[in-house]
Each structure stands twice: as C-alpha cells, then as structure tokens.
Amino acid sequence: MNKITCPVCDYLVDAVGFPVKDYSVSGEIFEICTCPQCTFAFTQPQPEPSVIGKYYQTTDYVSHSDTKKGLVNRLYHIVRKKNTTDKLALINHFAKKFASLPASLLDVGCGTGYFLSVCRQGGWQVEGVEVSTVARQTAEQRVGQIVYSSLEALMSTGKLFDVITLWHVFEHLHDINASFLQLSQLLKPQGVLILALPNLASADALHYKELWAAYDVPRHLSHFNPTSLRRLVEKHNMTIEQILPMKMDAYYVSMLSEMLKNVKGGGHHKGLLHRLAIQSKGKKGRQLFKFNLYN
Ligand SMILES: [Zn+2]
C-alpha cells in the first residue's frame, strides 16, 4: 500500500481515507487521509503546484473575487466587512504591546488587498504576498504599493514584521514545514503569527462530514485540529498563545455546506439556523489560531 510521510510527525501514513468531492470546480473525488499518530489530515492526491491553478478557475470561487452577484456572494461581502473589522481590532490589540509604532503587518495570501488597505488606513505599515497575478494586481492598485508574488521574494528584502496574518491561506500551501520556517524567519523576536484555519474538530465538520464545505478539496491540502496544529507549531519552536472562534466564518461555511446538501437552493437559511442552534449549545466552530514565538 502507498505510504506518505506525515509532514507533522513523520509517521508513515497509509494513503487511504474517506472520499470527498470537489463540488465547486472539477467534480473530481479526492480522499482525506488522517495520520493515526498525530491526527493531522491531508488531501490525496495533491495536485502539483504547476497544475493546481486549474482547480481555482471558477467564478464561484469567491475568496479572491470582488463581484457582488448572487446571494452567496452578497453574503460573502457582508461577512468580509464584519470579519475585516474584527481582524483589525485583533491586530490593534497586539500593536499596543509594541514599542515602536507604527507597527508592521504582513498579510500572506492577501487576495485583492481588502484587509491590507483597511490596515493601512488604520495606521499600519503593510506588506502583502499574493500568488495569483490577477488578485495581486488588484491589490497593488487598491493599496498603492508593490505586493510580492512569493514569500521568497519578500524575504530577499530583509524586512521583519510585528504581525503576520494568514486568513484561510495556510491550508492551501504545499509544503507546510518550509512555509512555517519562512514565516518564523519573517517575524520580529516578539512577533505574532495569526493563522485562521478550518477546524476539523469543529461541530460543523462533525455534523456535515464529507459535505463539510471547508474540506474544499483539492484547494485545501491540509486539515488541522488544535492537537495536530499544536504539534506542528511546537516542532518549529513556537507556541500557541490563544485559540479564538471565528463565528462569522462558521456561519458562512455552514451555509455553503447546507447548499451542498440541497443544491436547488434555499438551504442556506436552514444552515444558518442550524449553525445558530449549534452555537447555542456552546460548541465552537471555525477557529483562529494565534501563535507567539518563544523568545
Ligand atoms: Zn502525523
């Protein structure tokens, strides 16, 4: 049987899992494999970086889109506005701890630069990295400065940052160890790394199972829960300082998941109600993981 080395704990994992369909682009079936030793899960097979671009080619993939057509996109833009306010409040909270203001922010996977632009207006010195050429050009126009195409390109400048954010980006990366190393090298000694990730152990994931929209295969290559993430973080000599829920994202994922169950539409209201019901039981949805360097 084909074995794959777990990137978190190096255990040799059987490359078999449960099937999940790519609903939004290709219709292809992928598998979610789970490491029995550390509980890290990963998508199989993983399209190579040179070919994964075709799995992002749809107008329905709204994460990098500024269109406002359709109910889901309108909801997405409402969620984005609320989310951006919450994110800025979060990084402003950390900025108070830094001696030299204005504090510096790096947003990796900055998309069309919406968050970068809001942070810059809020007094932050900002830099962005975005791999998509179309999104990067939009971001450069929006923010009025260069946006880098890769972490490597940014690292050659020698800049370091007080806060680095990856809002639903880390799960898309092919080499999580190499990326984590680069991110830690880009942080100032007391810097804070903020990762927003879908949580495999969330009530949403457990309820919707293979229809959980946050599997989003094969665009999401890694699937974390707090246990596996902690293991990865500690392997890189960092520590998790805080785990926070992202309620708006959980609502959004629930709505998408409910629509996968009922593609004729109308299911999103049910999803929201169900989500509220889960919330009222005190369960947590998507999580925001925040790490701090040891030193
Ligand atoms: Zn493992």
Across the range 12-36, mean pLDDT stands at: 94
Residue-wise pLDDT for 236-253, tens only, equals 988 888 888 776 666 666
Joined tokens for residue 166 = 């990856």
Rounded to the nearest whole angstrom, what is the distance from the C-alpha of residue 7 to the centroid of ligand 1? 7
Residue-wise pLDDT for 141-168, tens only, equals 999 999 999 999 999 999 999 999 999 8
Residue-wise pLDDT for 47-100, tens only, equals 999 999 899 886 544 444 555 567 767 777 777 787 788 889 888 887 777 646
**Is pLDDT above 50 for 264?**
no
Q: What is the DSSP letter of 144?
A: T
Nearest to 150 by CA among 190, 183, 126, 119: 183
Nearest to 166 by CA among 107, 125, 218: 107
The confidence score (pLDDT) of residue 267 equals 42
Q: Around Cβ 58, how many Cβ atoms within 10 Å?
A: 12
pTM value is 0.83
Rounded to the nearest whole angstrom, what is the distance from the C-alpha of residue 15 to the centroid of ligand 1? 13
Helix (H) or strand (E) holding 254: helix 247-261
The confidence score (pLDDT) of residue 293 equals 37
Beta bridge partners of 185: none
Rounded to the nearest whole angstrom, what is the distance from the C-alpha of residue 231 to the centroid of ligand 1? 9
Joined tokens for residue 266 = 């109308």
Ion ligand 1 — residues with CB under 5 Å?
6, 8-9, 11, 35, 37-38, 40
Q: What is the DSSP letter of 216?
A: -
